[in-house]
Amino acid sequence: MKATIKIKEHLYTVNLSNPIDISIALRASEKNPEAWYLSPPTIKPVVLDNWVGSVQEGASVNFNTITFNPHAHGTHTECVGHISKEFHAISKTLDRFFFVAELISVAPELKGEDEVISEKQIKALLKNKKPEALIIRTLPNTKDKKQRQYSHTNWPYLDHKAAQFLREIGVEHLLIDLPSVDKEKDDGALLAHKAFWDYPKNPRLNATITEFIYVRNRVKDGSFILNLQVARFNNDAAPSRPVLYEIES
């Protein structure tokens, strides 16, 4: 089913029948991806006296309680409230949900003991494009990202100068296939987060960062329409389901 979408006075034709889901499903399993030193999420039936919320246990419905952390357990979108003293909710950050996005694939550079995505790399891959949203797929891109245990691994991260560059060219929504745009252990510096959101100098309240995505190898770099679907949590971050659509015209 083809549809025409208008974004900032421009018309784009996409086929809604061919979505490209770049989110990771939440699972109550050791195979669920994990970061920040937490245990896996849990999905358990409610127990009230002698009643168990499970059809297998004799109930008429399945009635589960889910315990998880949006930052640690899968695809999530966060706003400046993640790092600000002031409360800002992701549920009030977005006033629209379709954006022109650019997908790039980058092999982080070795810098001492770290792997870093540099401003130079980002500039070279964007080739003067200034998209509303940027999706970063790190290389190598293996399927185990969907279940990788990231705690204590010193994962690759985005250099703060690269984050500042993205802010300066007008990127409002940054998506990456890592648990964080920042270094795992940086003593709370959060340089990339702060540079992208321009915090605390001039906080960008409508800008978002989405982490823990996964983009399959068969999806080629280039321009897409992004539908950024975010659960309405009154919190700094919430589970999300970013979906891409190829631009046909």
User: Which string of DSSP letters, residue by residue, matches 17-48?
Assistant: TS-EE------SSTTS-B-TTPPPPEEEE-EE
CATH number, position 126? 3.50.30.50
Residue 110 is predicted with a pLDDT of: 98
Residue 186 is predicted with a pLDDT of: 98
**Pair 116, 156: CB distance under 8 Å:** yes
Q: What is the mean pLDDT of each run of 10 residues along the chain (249 residues)?
A: 91 96 97 97 97 97 98 98 98 97 98 97 97 98 97 98 98 98 98 98 98 98 98 98 95
In a domain, 54, yes or no: no
Pairwise CA distance, residues 239 & 158, whole Å? 22
In a domain, 66, yes or no: no
Stated pTM of the model: 0.97
Pairwise CA distance, residues 131 & 223, whole Å? 9
Residue 94, domain extent:
2-23+75-246
Residue 1 is predicted with a pLDDT of: 86
Residue 124 is predicted with a pLDDT of: 98
Give helix then strand counts, H and E, for the chain: 3, 17
Classify residue 135 by its DSSP letter.
E
